[in-house]
Homo-oligomer: A and B are copies of this chain.
């Protein structure tokens, strides 16, 4: 496994000229930064966006403590961001899916608190922060967009924190993950959790054994069915009752 982080390194690939419209034609446009920008501004944005990858499982995109230089937009794959607490225990802060932005939490400290690791082969777009900020001065919508993303993250966090009990946490995770998949055009009730149980448990702040048991209980109650990493939500309503909120992750 790679011990070097990739942030700002030579592994990046600038878009070749013919791909200037990369952002324009990106299937994730609606989820990503530019949203409903006029075409000329999208092209300005694309001009300094660099493609990185494919990155492979186990590689580190951002190392904790590194100076903050750029944010990353995920094009494909799966990553996790984690914090290392006392005794260097890893805690998974969130799972990162295509269309999501990585690194905005590092703005304040000017360096990354979280470490970002690849869980499943991924391609990301590197967006230098200074240039993004410069562009955002001319594009009001972009600025709002960034605020919105950060704001959403906070309110989700606040909300999730209020959940007590292992079962509620797990239910919330399943519903939230399903919702994220749905936004990306997949089924909200049938999906594959490519990350390990250990990582999920860490994210939910429960022991892996507890997660395993809760999933089993859910299955016995007919709420879900499990085939290894493949999950099928059978009683979405009942699961939602346990966390009374539309989305999360």
A residues in contact (CB < 8 Å) with B: 83-86, 89, 91, 93, 104-109, 113-114, 133, 136-137, 140, 143-144, 146-155, 157-159, 161-164, 168, 205, 242-244
B106 touches A151 (CB 8 A): yes
A244 touches B86 (CB 8 A): yes
Instruction: Tell me the smallest distance from the CB of A166 to a CB of chain B, in Å.
Output: 14
A159 touches B107 (CB 8 A): no
B161 touches A205 (CB 8 A): yes
Residue of B nearest to A157 (CB): B157
Instruction: Tell me the smallest distance from the CB of A27 to a CB of chain B, in Å.
Output: 23
Contacts of A150 in B (CB 8 A): 147, 150-151, 154
Assuming A83-B161, A106-B155, A154-B154, what are 6 further A-B pairs, CB within 8 angstroms?
Answer: A104-B147, A104-B151, A104-B154, A105-B155, A133-B140, A143-B143
Q: Which of B113, B143, B152 contacts A155 (CB 8 A)?
A: B113
Residue of B nearest to A90 (CB): B162
Given the interface pairs A150-B147, A150-B150, A151-B107, the reply to whether A114 lies near B83 with Cβ below 8 Å is no
The complex is assembled from copies of this chain, and their number is 2
B161 touches A108 (CB 8 A): no
A-B contact pairs, 22 of them (CB 8 A): A83-B159, A83-B161, A84-B162, A86-B242, A105-B151, A105-B155, A106-B151, A106-B155, A107-B144, A107-B147, A108-B155, A114-B158, A136-B143, A137-B140, A143-B143, A146-B147, A147-B147, A150-B151, A154-B154, A154-B157, A161-B161, A164-B205
Residue of B nearest to A144 (CB): B133
Instruction: Tell me the smallest distance from the CB of A10 to a CB of chain B, in Å.
Output: 28
Contacts of A91 in B (CB 8 A): 161-162
B107 touches A148 (CB 8 A): yes
Residue of B nearest to A81 (CB): B158
Contacts of A89 in B (CB 8 A): 162, 164
Contacts of A154 in B (CB 8 A): 104-105, 150, 153-154, 157
B108 touches A148 (CB 8 A): yes
Residue of B nearest to A94 (CB): B158
Residue of B nearest to A205 (CB): B161
